[in-house]
Amino acid sequence: MVSNKAKQKKATVHTLGCRLNQSESHIIREKLEEAGYRYVPFGEKADLAVINTCTVTREADAKSRQAIRQFIRKNPGAFTAVLGCYSQMGAKDIAEIAGVDLIIGNQNKLSFLDYVGHGKNERPLIVRDRIDKNDFSISFAGDLPFEKRANLKIQDGCNFMCSFCVIPFARGRSRSRDYKNLIQEAQSLVERGVREIVLTGVNIGTYNNHDCDILSIVDHLNILSGLLRIRISSIEPTTVPEALLDRMADPDHILLPYLHIPMQSGSDKILQLMRRKYAICDFVKFINNAANNVPNLCIGTDILTGFPGEGEKEFDETCQVFLDNPFAYCHVFTYSERKGTPAIRESEIVPVSERNRRGAFLRKLNSKRRYNYYESYLGKTMEVLFEDKRQGIWPGYTGNYIRVVSDTSQDLRNRLARVHLEKISADYVEGSLVKVLN
């Protein structure tokens, strides 16, 4: 364990990848401060770095390696701990980076301090145990100030086994967090100033612990005094209960009208090759039903371009589905071969240059679609939860995920206010303050 000398030392945490990693990194930071370290932003001089990695694509692997090398170059004598998905899948590659001291996979990542020594290791210690299949609890300190919004981990792993996805190997099979444990953390977060909680996990719609499901969670959070908003992160379309949409449509429920539902492809042929669990007609029916029944609903999606077997016809089908349906935006991913996944054995390989071309085309479509979405709300007054002031203006988000900025002399930090949306500038909407609500 860490000695009392650690109280004089500085530590930093760098997070790559998803909201789930962000949630875990907050717990990691709490553990560091509880152990006596003084936290500093990544990029500043530190005695210990914890780099929480991602491996969803080859680009993610490369970004993880880049972050590791960047820290070691600036802090050659510091202890460097590399955790998470890339550590689980690519420990050998990480071990070849000179200066790495500790490599921990996902099973033991939150216990990383048990393996931190008092000096650098000659060779990196690798801890990469088999991932437990049982439901879990998380030990959290509950001392670190945390305002505005926070990611709350409720689930981990996935059983769906899509043919392109490495995450079931990196994070294991689906398991749920102990219900009482996650509610305790939610209460702690609200007591520390959090106004919005974002439910996160790998496949959150499959949550099931002690006969409690995702509806149980949102209904319990709905009655927490001081919490203003609940947001759901990415959720698989086949796991969304109809009653969840009822909560979003209920003006007395604090569940926000926001759904990020991965489509991946608009082609049934490609969906089958991907081993997705729906036909495109069912997906389209679901999102249109949701849009028709939840006022001001924002629907976002993920699209994967260049999957093996995707020709121009299949790509055109995907673009058309995106354009013809009520999406506010899409996140575009370029297919990347991942060792151990079934898709790597497919023979109809799309050239990388073509994958990139299609990705760039979709991003242009997305830019226009997001602009049109923002434009449809100009002239309306919306509720915005504001963050810290930046460059003289206050940024924040509406419940349906419109990024808004307001220029006012009032202190809007961590406050909910009604704002009149007036003008689109770059990737946000300028608005004038109408009334501070809370």
Q: What is the CATH number of the domain that holds 396?
A: 2.40.50
Q: How far apart are CA 176 and CA 43, in angstroms?
A: 34
Q: How far apart are CA 197 and CA 185, in angstroms?
A: 11
Q: What is the 3-state secondary structure (H, E, C) of 193-250?
A: CEEEEEEECCCHHHCCECCECHHHHHHHHCCCCCCCEEEECCCCHHHCCHHHHHHHHC
Examine the domain organization and report whether 35 and 122 are in the same domain.
Answer: yes
> Mean pLDDT across the stretch 54-65?
96
* 10-39 core/surface letters (b: 16 or more CB in 10 A; e: else): bbbbbbbbbbbbbbbbbbbbbbbeebebee
The distance of Cα 392 from the centroid of its chain, to the nearest Å, equals 28
pLDDT at 145: 61
> Mean pLDDT across the stretch 417-436?
96
- Lowest-pLDDT choice from 233-237, 279-283, 388-392: 388-392
Inside any domain, residue 137 = no
Strand ranges across the sheet with 148-153:
148-153, 194-200, 229-232
Confidence of residue 143 (pLDDT cuts 50, 70, 90): low
> Mean pLDDT across the stretch 134-153?
83
pLDDT at 146: 58
Confidence of residue 13 (pLDDT cuts 50, 70, 90): very high
Report pLDDT digits (tens) over 116-136.
987 899 999 999 999 999 999
**Amino acid in the structure at residue 283:** F
Examine the domain organization and report whether 71 and 28 are in the same domain.
Answer: yes
Residue-number span of the structural domain to which 226 is assigned? 147-256
Is it the case that residue 8 has pLDDT exceeding 90?
Answer: no
CA dist list (Å): 388 to 190, 256, 418: 18, 21, 17
Q: How far apart are CA 123 and CA 80, in angstroms?
A: 12
How high is the mean pLDDT of the chain?
Answer: 95
Confidence of residue 144 (pLDDT cuts 50, 70, 90): low
Residue that the structure tokens 């995450």 belong to? 167
Beta bridge partners of 177: 136
Examine the domain organization and report whether 246 and 342 are in the same domain.
Answer: no
Examine the domain organization and report whether 10 and 110 are in the same domain.
Answer: yes
Q: Long-range contacts: 287-290, Cβ < 8 Å, 24+?
A: 287/237, 287/259, 287/261, 287/325, 287/326, 287/327, 288/325, 288/326, 289/245, 290/245, 290/259
Inside any domain, residue 343 = yes
Helices (H), 325-351: none
Q: Compute and round to an integer the Cα radius of gyration of the chain.
A: 22
Confidence of residue 147 (pLDDT cuts 50, 70, 90): low
CB-based contact 432:165 (threshold 8 Å): no
Examine the domain organization and report whether 88 and 152 are in the same domain.
Answer: no
Domain boundary at 256, 289, 308, which?
256
Examine the domain organization and report whether 250 and 262 are in the same domain.
Answer: no
Examine the domain organization and report whether 175 and 199 are in the same domain.
Answer: yes
> Mean pLDDT across the stretch 182-198?
95
CATH number of the CATH domain containing 28: 3.40.50.12160
pLDDT at 5: 47
pLDDT at 371: 97
Inside any domain, residue 134 = no
Examine the domain organization and report whether 261 and 320 are in the same domain.
Answer: yes
* Number of alpha helices (DSSP H) and beta strands (DSSP E) in the chain: 12, 19
Inside any domain, residue 162 = yes
Task: Tell me how crowded residue 292 is: count the other CB atoms within 10 A of its CB.
Answer: 11
Is it the case that residue 40 has pLDDT exceeding 80?
Answer: yes
Global pTM reads: 0.93
> Mean pLDDT across the stretch 35-45?
94
Examine the domain organization and report whether 159 and 217 are in the same domain.
Answer: yes
Report pLDDT digits (tens) over 411-420.
999 999 999 9
Report pLDDT digits (tens) over 97-115.
999 999 999 999 999 999 9
CATH number of the CATH domain containing 178: 3.30.750.210
Which of the 8 DSSP states describes residue 333? E
**Amino acid in the structure at residue 195:** R
pLDDT at 304: 98
Question: Among residues 217, 133, 206, 148, which one has the least CA distance to residue 181?
Answer: 217
User: Do strands 48-53 and 79-84 pair parallel, antiparallel, or not at all (unpaired)?
Assistant: parallel
Confidence of residue 263 (pLDDT cuts 50, 70, 90): very high
Total tally of structural domains belonging to the chain = 4
> Mean pLDDT across the stretch 304-308?
98
Inside any domain, residue 133 = no
* 45-81 core/surface letters (b: 16 or more CB in 10 A; e: else): ebbbbbbbbbbbbeebbebbbebbeebbeebeebbbb
Is it the case that residue 184 has pLDDT exceeding 50?
Answer: yes
pLDDT at 6: 45
* 413-423 core/surface letters (b: 16 or more CB in 10 A; e: else): ebbbbebebee
Examine the domain organization and report whether 54 and 114 are in the same domain.
Answer: yes
Is it the case that residue 7 has pLDDT exceeding 60?
Answer: no
